[in-house]
Amino acid sequence: MAENSVKPIKQRDGTYAIVLDKALVTPQELKEIAEALEEFDVKLVKFTESQRMVIVGIDPEKIDEFCEKAKVKVAPATGKVVRSVKFCPGKALCTMGLQDSIAMAERLMKFEGLEFPDKVKIAISGCPNSCTEPAVRDIGLMGTRDGFTLYVGGSAGRKPRIGRVLTEKLSMDEAEELVGKILEFYKNNADRGKRIGEFIDSIGWDRFKESVLG
C-alpha cells in the first residue's frame, strides 16, 4: 500500500472498493483496466459523482498489484481531503463548450488528496449549462465566453447550499492561482469539520472576499 496510500472503502459484504484516478481513458487503457478486473476477479464497476470508476469487491491485499497491472492509481474518495476534480468535456469536445474544462481540471488535480479542515469538492464546467454542477461544490468554475466564473461555498449532500460568485472572467492562470489562495486561506483559518461554505459564514463574506482577492 506504499504507492496508493488512500484507504480502500469497506463494503457491507465485507469486501472493499477503491476509486480509480482516471476520468478520461483511451480504448487501450480501458482494455488494460478490464483485463486487470478479470484477472483480480472484480465483479462490479460503478462511477462516483466525480465520474471516477469504483472497483467494487477487491481484495485489499491485492490493491497495489491490481493498480500496477491496470496502470491506475487509487483516488482520494474519503476523508478531509480535496476529492477528485469533477469536469465535463468542455470546448475540447462538447459543441456547447466555451472554456477548456479538461485543461483547467488537469491544473487543479495537483490539489487532490491534500488534507484540509474538511472535504473539498471541486467541479468545472465548460459553459453555463453546468453539467458538473459547479454552483453546488465547495469550489466551482463555470466557463463563459469571457473566462471562468468562480463559485465558492456551495455543497450538495447533507446540507445543500448554492455557492456565491466570488469573481468572474478569470483566465486559466488566474483561476488556478485563486483556487490555491482560497485553499490556503481555508486551511490556515477554518476549524476542523467546517466545509468552506460554513467557514465563510463564520467569518463573513466581506472578510473572506478581501482575504482571498486582496
Q: Which residues bind ligand SF4 (CB under 6 A)?
A: 88-90, 94, 96-97, 125-127, 129-131
CB closer to ligand SF4 out of 123 and 190: 123
CB closer to ligand SF4 out of 130 and 155: 130
All three cell numbers of 106, joined, read: 488537469
CB closer to ligand SF4 out of 84 and 125: 125
Beta partners for residue 81, in sequence order: 115
State the minimum distance, in angstroms, from the CB of residue 111 to ligand SF4. 21
State the minimum distance, in angstroms, from the CB of residue 130 to ligand SF4. 6
Element (H, E) at 104: helix 101-108
- CB-neighbour burial class of residue 29 (10 A; exposed 0-12, middle 13-18, buried 19+): middle
State the minimum distance, in angstroms, from the CB of residue 143 to ligand SF4. 7
> In this structure, are residues 179 and 171 in contact, taking their beta carbons and an 8 Å threshold?
no
CB closer to ligand SF4 out of 89 and 180: 89
CB closer to ligand SF4 out of 52 and 195: 52
State the minimum distance, in angstroms, from the CB of residue 142 to ligand SF4. 8
- CB-neighbour burial class of residue 12 (10 A; exposed 0-12, middle 13-18, buried 19+): exposed
- CB-neighbour burial class of residue 5 (10 A; exposed 0-12, middle 13-18, buried 19+): exposed
Q: How far is it, in rounded angstroms, from Cα 153 to Cα 83?
A: 15
DSSP code for 153: S
State the minimum distance, in angstroms, from the CB of residue 171 to ligand SF4. 18
